[in-house]
Each structure stands twice: as C-alpha cells, then as structure tokens.
Amino acid sequence: MQLHEFQAKELLERYGLRIPRGRIAGDIEQARRIANRLGFPRFAVKAQIRTTERMADGGVRFAASPDGVAATAAAMLGRVLTSQRHATSHEFVRWVLIEEAIACSLQLYAAVVLDTSTGRLVLLTSRNGGAGIETRAAGEPDLITKTPLTLAPTGVHGAFEDAAASLGLPAATTATAADILRTLAQMAVELDAVQVEINPLALTPSNELVALDAKLQIDDHAMFRHPGLAAFREAVTKEEDDPHELGADRHQINYAALGGTIGLVANGAGLALATLDMLHDFGGSPANFMDIRTTATSLDIAFGVELVLNNPNTKALLVNVHGGGMQRCDTIAEGIAVAVSRTSRKLPIVARFAGNNADFAGVRLESAGIAFHPASDMTSAVRSIVELTKD
C-alpha cells in the first residue's frame, strides 16, 4: 500500500519526527478556510498524488495568501496530473495538502528501503536531496550513499552515526540526523514497510531538521498485522483504487483488469504471468491477471471468477491451475462451479488442471453441468482459447 504524503507524514509525526504544520483539503472553499485558519506568511499547496516527479509536473506550488491558496487548489483539484517523464503515468487529484512553506539552507535525502535482490533493508542518504533526485542519481551513481542494515532481536542495527556524519551538517545537528535515520529504520521494521523516504529532509536556518515531503509504502501482504492502519487503507482505496481489485484482495486473490477478451483463472503469480506471456505469443488478449493465493477458500475463488465472468469484455475463460500442497485443483474447480451458477453469462471455457486432485477437478465441473474444453498441457490450453476467441 503506497500512502499519500499526508498519511506518511502523520506516521512520521507519531514516531517523533518534525513535519510542517498543515491540513488536507478536498475542495476550493475548504482550502481557503484552512489557509485563513493557519495564517502562514507563505503556503505550500501540494497535490496528493503518488508520483516521483510531482514538483516538475506542477503538483507542488506556493501561495502567499488564502486567496492564492484557493486559486492554486482550483488549478489542481479534480484534474488529472500527467508525468512529464512518463506520459502514461497520471493521477486524478482528489486532495491537496496545505502547509507552511519552510525556508531551508540544505535539502537532504534519507530513506530506508527493502533491497529485493538481497531481502535486506538498506539505508540511503544524500546531501543533495530535493526534486529530481531519481533523475540525478541515474547519472551520478555516487550521489546516494548506501548503508546496509542488519536485523537482530534487539532491533535494527547499522552505521547511522557514520551516515549522518557524511551529510556535512553542523555538529549539534548530526546527532539529531542519526536519530532520524535510526527512526526511519525502526518504522520500516515495525510497519513492514518496503520504503520509508524523506525527500527533502530540510535543514532550516535555525539548524532544525524538518521532513518537507515523505513517501511510505507498506507490504500489502503484511497489512493484517496492522489493524491500526485500516483507516489509511480505506482513505486510499475508497477514493482511488479499482474496487474489483480491492474486493479480490479481501478474498485472497491478486486481480487486475487488462482490457483484453480472454479471462484467466490461475494460481500462483509465476504461472499466471507465464500464461499471459503465452497468450500474447499466440495472438490472444488477456482480460485480466489473476493469482489465487494458497489461503483462498472455494468461496473466495468464486468471488474472483465472478469478476472475470461479469467483465463485459470477457469472451472466453481460460483456467490454468497447478494444484499444490496447500491449494488443490478441486478446491478451485468448486469455486468455478459456484461462480458459474451465480451468473447468467455462459462463456466458452478451456481448463487445464495439473497436480493435486487434478482428476477430481474435472469431475467437479462435469457434475455441476459445466461444459468445458479439457487441455492436457499449457500450450494446448492457450492455443484452444485463442482459437475460440478469434472473430
């Protein structure tokens, strides 16, 4: 779950880090009222979108009065902000964060991220933070310093003091910086975060360190351990995410609509992705990605299959399942049977079952009166479904 800036900052504040004072607004008049109430000499108005180059894309602007805040909010709210670097990346602006514009003498970069190649947390720091650091770092590999972190029963350990010292801060502030870096690591561990980032971490003229912007991404599969973050998830998902994807997630299924005509039911992300690749190779167009988790029940699976069947773009259904120790083929077949019984749409089905209880799966579909084309292997299954969907 990728949090919005205002949510990430709320968590930073809970952990004792300093953030600018501010409020979130969802309409123009609310933005004006908030600015009047806050009464800052200068405001930062920030579109709450989850992109990497928000400043360059016009998502961060400044205003000197409540009327200026309202005008700036009007230019953002209800608009789609498109990335200049990635033309296909765009987000609808539903909120703006109105906060105090803080003067700074230095903009630092600080983050703790999960290195997926090693499975370890890494501390990232730079004296040259601020907008565009991703672009700059691509051309200057030494711009960002990487410090490996180690997890132990006593907490997370690393050379936080050395990393802070490399930032070239005043002596009195270096110790504070080390504490901030240590806190980011603590947050990553305690929140199951794959990214906790402050950019910029601003040094003010009074030598204070303030988090002017923040990113925080939490591992979706660990959300069950954080019921206190449910409100954050609702705020994000209710407004922005695909309700079908959200419903599937609650039913132990990873699902994403793709816009094609061949519906896919598969278990395991690797098998699902391989099936999508093969569909493309044979000239087919997938309607969705689906990965049934091992924890899904037959009723969970029925929910996911219904999403596929009720998609008006879907012309045929491909079932490619390999039963394992924790997810049997007949459990998935049971879910398919329930889904078919609940919908009036009758689509051509090609089914390939392999592994645990594969024979029982076919029998279960037949006993439910479901007509399907059996396939002995993945290649023949994909070839058959593509033929069935040809115009």
Per the annotation, the verdict on 5 as an active-site residue is no
Are 25 and 31 in contact by the 8 Å Cβ rule? The answer is yes
Element (H, E) at 319: strand 316-323
Six-digit token string for 314: 């879907």
Which residue carries 């004792």 as its tokens? 16
Distance CA 330, CA 375 (A): 16
Look at strands 90-92 and 80-82 and give their pairing: antiparallel
CA distance to 43, 59, 72, 188, 239, per residue, from 26 (Å): 16, 15, 13, 29, 12
- Residue 354, helix vs strand vs coil: strand
Options 109, 245, 255, 306, the catalytic residue: 109
Which residue carries 């880090």 as its tokens? 17
Question: How many C-beta atoms lie closer than 10 Å to residue 336's C-beta?
Answer: 29
DSSP codes, 143-169? GSEEEE-EEETTEEE--HHHHHHTT--
CA angle (4, 52, 72) in 5-degree steps: 65
User: What single DSSP character describes residue 317?
Assistant: E
Per the annotation, the verdict on 15 as an active-site residue is no
Q: Which residues pair with 148 in a beta bridge?
A: 122
Options 5, 91, 197, 245, the catalytic residue: 197
| Dihedral pair phi/psi, residue 53, rounded to 5° | -120, 50
DSSP codes, 209-264? EEE--EEEEE-GGGGGG-GGGHHHHHHHHHHTS-HHHHHHHHTTEEEEE-SSSEEE
377's CB contacts (< 8 A; 6+ apart) are 352
Residue 76 corresponds to which amino acid? M
Are 97 and 22 in contact by the 8 Å Cβ rule? The answer is yes
Catalytic residues: 109, 197
